Structure 1
Amino acid sequence: MEISGEAVTARGIGVRGPRGPVFENVDLDVSAGGLLVVHGPGGSGRTSLLLALAGRMRLHTGAVEVGRHRCPGRGARHVRRLVALARADGAVDLEGRLRTSEVIAERCWLERDVTPRRVVEAARRVGLRLRPESLVEDLGPLDALLLAVALALAARPPVLVVDSLDRDCPAEDREHAWQALEAVRACGCTVLAAATDPPAAPADGAALLALPRRHTGRPTAPTAAKETAA
């Protein structure tokens, strides 16, 4: 599996909610095939920042560039096409009542570039053993995360967003999760990830961005675009 990743750049970006800034004045540079790790406590704006970088949240200030496409502006549609969301709290997650086989079939129906063979290949890439008859809600936290990543990776996107990587995961599973993202990077894909804590041993070239907790409100829907990932 080979993917041509895209660089992601942000200058002075900020998002405001009904009760003030969610995050503000963020500058970052992620090279093609690189890894960005956004970390901070709940309420710090991690998810909102990832959605903004993916072109799926309205910016109050600044701009994002993915490859040669700029958001906001005419390039926003291209940014959304280039950046796939594996998981984003409150916006994108897997349907727990479906079986793994049903989630895969639905993804193949929704995205013409995704095939069962590609999903199997992506699952192997991230170290996931697929169990077709298992309900998504019965999967452990790590397997649920890896399934979401594999489904998104099967479309071979230039940029992949993974939110709440360490959600409900014990320490040993977190290490496996970070290793899975390194396997995604090895394909050439640019990875934008968020977690409460950064990895214990950040990969070479990884960009770390710490967000402080804010006591203002997050944007309310429909400010944050709602999506369904299977």
Structure 2
Amino acid sequence: MGEQAGGVRIAADGLGIKGPRGWAVRGISVEAEPGALVAVEGPSGSGRTCLLLALTGRMKVSEGTAAVGDAKLPKQMAAVRGISALAHVPGVTDLDPALTVGEHLRERALLQRRFGASLRGLLRPRGERAAEAEQRVDAALEAAGLDLETLPKGPRTAVRDLERLEALRLSIALALVGGPRLLGVDDADLKLSEGEREEVRSLLRSLAAAGTTVVAVFGEAPEGAIRVCTAQSHEDPAAGDDEPDEHVQAGEADQPDETEKADQADQADQADQADQADQADQADQGEEKADAIAETGRA
């Protein structure tokens, strides 16, 4: 597919990602050679998507070391984004239900022609560039296993009319149009039947076998994949820096001491005094207004 030069190696040691609410994942280590299938496994809410976004250069790494190909994270996130693509990530790669499959594909091809091509490529004749874009789309559809002729209305089928597995294949095809060396797929087996899950496993294995390094989020990692479990990172005692001191007895941390109670009482008294002062000021202002009106009447 175009300028693809094979997959990339992923190496991470003690990887941690911290957000506004604390650590999403911590202590993640993974070694994957080019063309590997890496399965990020764990329960919902365990940081699977955060790890996927970090390894594809979309979320900043907070601790540990990580490299994707020759790029180091987090300093070279832009370089990682340049060789990677995402599919089926909620809030990031959502398909427009009102658009047709053909419209999505044409839009992605146009974006690839305008922003993904080299300067030399942009200077080629329009017909030549259009032919290459069509070839990219056809190759991406074939790799994703999406046959447009099997859809209810062919390429004119609206996204809202697609089955869940068909929508997943379309999202993967759109990601493959740019010929990424690293493909990230979120929720690869979410709400699919066992037969459909096996189809997705076979699809991602085939993409990896063709040379693309694949990192995919699974509820249950497929056989033969490099398994990375995010649930273990939440069970690691080293990840408990934000836990209360072990010497504090249960319940003591939630009970204010006598000094705190006194401070709270003082604050309440001050608030009452402030309210009384405000009321007095308002009364004075009212009297001043009445006096002014009276003076005006006398005049």
TM-score (norm. length: structure 2): 0.66
1:51 alignment counterpart: 53
Match of 1:117 in 2: 135
User: For each residue in 1:38-89, what CA deviation from the matched residue of structure 2 results, as whole angstroms up to 9, or x when unmatched?
Assistant: 011110111000000011112221232111111111x221111011112223
Query: SS at 1:32's partner residue?
Result: coil
Task: Mark the CA change 1:3 to 1:126 in structure 2 (over 3 Å): closer, same or farther.
Answer: farther
How many residue pairs end up in the alignment?
Answer: 210
Which position in structure 1 is the counterpart of 2:27? 25
- With a CA cutoff of 8 Å and minimum separation of 6, indicate the structure with the bigger relative contact order: 1
Alignment-mate amino acid for residue 182 of structure 2: V
Secondary structure of 2:30 counterpart: strand
Question: What are the ranges of 5 or more consecutive residues in structure 2 without an aligned counterpart?
Answer: 118-131, 149-153, 236-299
State the shift of 1:3 in Å: 4.5
The TM-score normalised by the length of structure 1 is 0.85
Choose 1 or 2 for highest CA Rg.
2
> Residue 129 of structure 1 corresponds to which residue in structure 2?
147
Aligned AA (2:89): A
2:231 partner SS: coil
Write the distance in 1 (CA, Å) between the matches of 2:62 and 2:8. Answer: 24
Identity %: 37
User: How far apart are the structure 2 equivalents of 1:100 and 1:3?
Assistant: 28
2:99 aligned partner: 98
| One-letter code aligned to 1:28 | V
**SS where residue 220 of structure 2 aligns?**
coil
**Matching residue's letter, 1:155:** G
Match of 1:207 among 226, 249, 252: 226
Separation in 2, partners of 1:123, 1:174: 19
- The 4+ residue runs of structure 1 with deviation greater than 2 A are 89-93
- Counterpart pick for 1:194 among 200, 205, 217: 217
The superposition leaves residues 16-38 of structure 1 with CA deviations (integer Å, 9 ceiling, x where unpaired) of 22222110011111110111000
Q: In angstroms, what is the RMSD of aligned CA positions?
A: 1.9
Counting helix residues as a fraction of each chain, which structure ranks higher?
A: 2
Q: Which runs of 5+ in 1 are unaligned?
A: 216-230
Aligned partners of 1:10 and 1:64 also within 8 Å: yes
Shift of 1:98: 1.0
Q: Deviations over 1:157-209 (max 9, x none)?
A: 1110011001221111010011111121122110000011222xx13xx2011
State the alpha-carbon separation in 1 of the partners of residues 5 and 179 from structure 2: 6
Deviations 1:90-123 (A, max 9, x none): 3222222210011001101111257232222221
What residue identity is the alignment partner of 1:96?
P
Q: 164, 181, 192: which one pairs with 1:169?
A: 192
Counterpart Cα distance in 2 of 1:76 and 1:125: 27
